């Protein structure tokens, strides 16, 4: 049965049942119980932002599936500069079986999806990171099961926004702790409510962590925000995931990487047995393989 959507621009482009199906397939592929292949399929991978996990996981994943992934960096194609983005999308849609794009502006990935006559996957925009959410939910299933409470601590950024909606779809209870000036968009909580969820929102990280089974954080200064560094470091005072914040808790800790050790998380916590960051990173591969099969098969 095909997915209802032909594109994957944010996590709720899937239905909850489809999300569960992708995660089940990812688990089966990881365990060697699903040998689906995409022979001779080609994926165009557009990168405005540099990447380790996104590039390597998609390229390795499609190779494992018998296909070919093509890296297209900012110096390789005329992405919205030498020609309109819609024209690039039209051409890629005729050459390739799918497009994965890691961009700054979310509207750009929407343009790609509108004009490319093939599935388009959001590998990250400033608004959303749904592929990371797939890996996060797979990791939580493996380590914490279904009945779990997660605390998001830090910036209300693209990773957090997609995660809150994805967690709502998966029936996971979430508390969001951010400084007031770096809160998530209210529309994110409205989308979570569409799936029957009511995330708790606070500016107190200690309160968020108190009853959590999993604590999730991400960088405070994302790519392109370097000029905000000093202001953000001041605003996030007290939000570092460290041994003091986690005192008395046996919560696992998640981070989507790369980490700025000593800022949003300490080296001691990231290198501890409670850290799941490396499983999250590996699960990008398995979750994206499952997604590619569901979209392109």
Q: Cα–Cα distance between 118 and 144 in angstroms, integer?
A: 36
Q: Is 143 a catalytic residue?
A: no
- Kindly report the pTM of this predicted structure: 0.97
pLDDT of residue 50: 87
25, 55, 129, 286: which is the annotated catalytic residue?
A: 129
Q: Is 132 a catalytic residue?
A: yes
Residues 143 and 125 in one domain: no
Residues 63 and 154 in one domain: no
Residues 145 and 61 in one domain: no
Q: Is 41 a catalytic residue?
A: no
118, 218, 255, 288: which is the annotated catalytic residue?
A: 218
Q: Is 280 a catalytic residue?
A: no
Can you give the residue range of the structural domain that contains 240? 130-280
Residues 166 and 238 in one domain: yes
pLDDT of residue 1: 64
Cβ neighbours of residue 253 closer than 8 Å, sequence gap 6 or more: 214, 215, 216, 217, 241, 246, 265, 269, 270, 272, 274, 275, 276, 277
Residues 146 and 228 in one domain: yes
Residues 209 and 193 in one domain: yes
Q: Is 173 a catalytic residue?
A: no
Residues 93 and 134 in one domain: no
Task: For residue 275, list its beta bridge partners.
Answer: 253
* Tens of pLDDT, residue by residue, the chain (297 residues): 679 999 999 999 999 999 999 999 999 999 999 999 999 999 999 999 889 999 999 999 999 999 999 999 988 887 767 789 999 999 999 999 999 999 999 999 999 999 999 999 999 999 999 999 999 999 999 999 879 999 999 999 999 999 999 999 999 999 999 999 999 999 999 999 999 999 999 999 999 999 999 999 999 987 667 788 899 999 999 999 999 999 999 999 999 999 999 999 999 999 999 999 999 999 999 999 999 999 999
Residue 1 lies in a domain: no
Say if residue 41 carries a ligand binding annotation: no
55, 141, 149, 284: which is the annotated catalytic residue?
A: 284
Say if residue 50 carries a ligand binding annotation: no
Residues 117 and 183 in one domain: no
Say if residue 157 carries a ligand binding annotation: no
Residues 221 and 292 in one domain: no
Residue 2 lies in a domain: no
CATH number for the domain harbouring residue 144:
3.40.50.1370
């Amino acid at each position: 049965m095909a997915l209802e959507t032909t594109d994957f621009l944010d996590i709720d482009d899937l239905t909850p049942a489809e999300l569960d199906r992708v995660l089940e397939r990812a688990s089966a592929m990881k365990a060697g119980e699903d040998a689906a292949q995409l022979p001779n399929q080609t994926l165009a991978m557009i990168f405005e932002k540099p990447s380790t996990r996104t590039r390597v996981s998609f390229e390795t994943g499609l190779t494992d599936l018998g296909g070919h992934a093509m890296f297209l960096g900012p110096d390789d194609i005329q992405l919205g500069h030498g020609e309109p983005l819609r024209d690039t999308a039209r051409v890629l849609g005729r050459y390739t079986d799918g497009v994965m794009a890691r961009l700054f502006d979310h509207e750009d990935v929407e343009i790609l999806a509108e004009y490319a006559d093939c599935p388009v996957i959001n590998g990250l925009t400033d608004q959303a990171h749904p592929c990371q959410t797939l890996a996060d939910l797979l990791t939580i299933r493996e380590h914490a099961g279904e009945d779990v409470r997660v605390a998001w601590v830090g910036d209300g950024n693209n990773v957090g926004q997609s995660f809150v909606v994805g967690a709502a779809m998966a029936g996971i209870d979430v508390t969001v702790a951010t400084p007031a000036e770096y809160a998530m968009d209210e529309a994110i909580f409205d989308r979570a409510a569409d799936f029957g969820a009511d995330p708790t929102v606070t500016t107190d990280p200690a309160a968020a962590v108190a009853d959590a089974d999993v604590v999730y954080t991400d960088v405070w200064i994302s790519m392109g925000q370097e000029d905000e560094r000093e202001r953000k470091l001041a605003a996030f005072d007290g939000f570092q995931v460290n041994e003091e914040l986690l005192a008395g808790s046996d919560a696992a800790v998640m981070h989507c990487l790369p980490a700025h050790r000593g800022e949003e998380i300490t080296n001691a916590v990231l290198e501890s047995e409670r850290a799941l960051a490396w499983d999250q990173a590996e699960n990008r591969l398995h979750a994206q393989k499952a997604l590619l099969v569901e979209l392109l098969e």
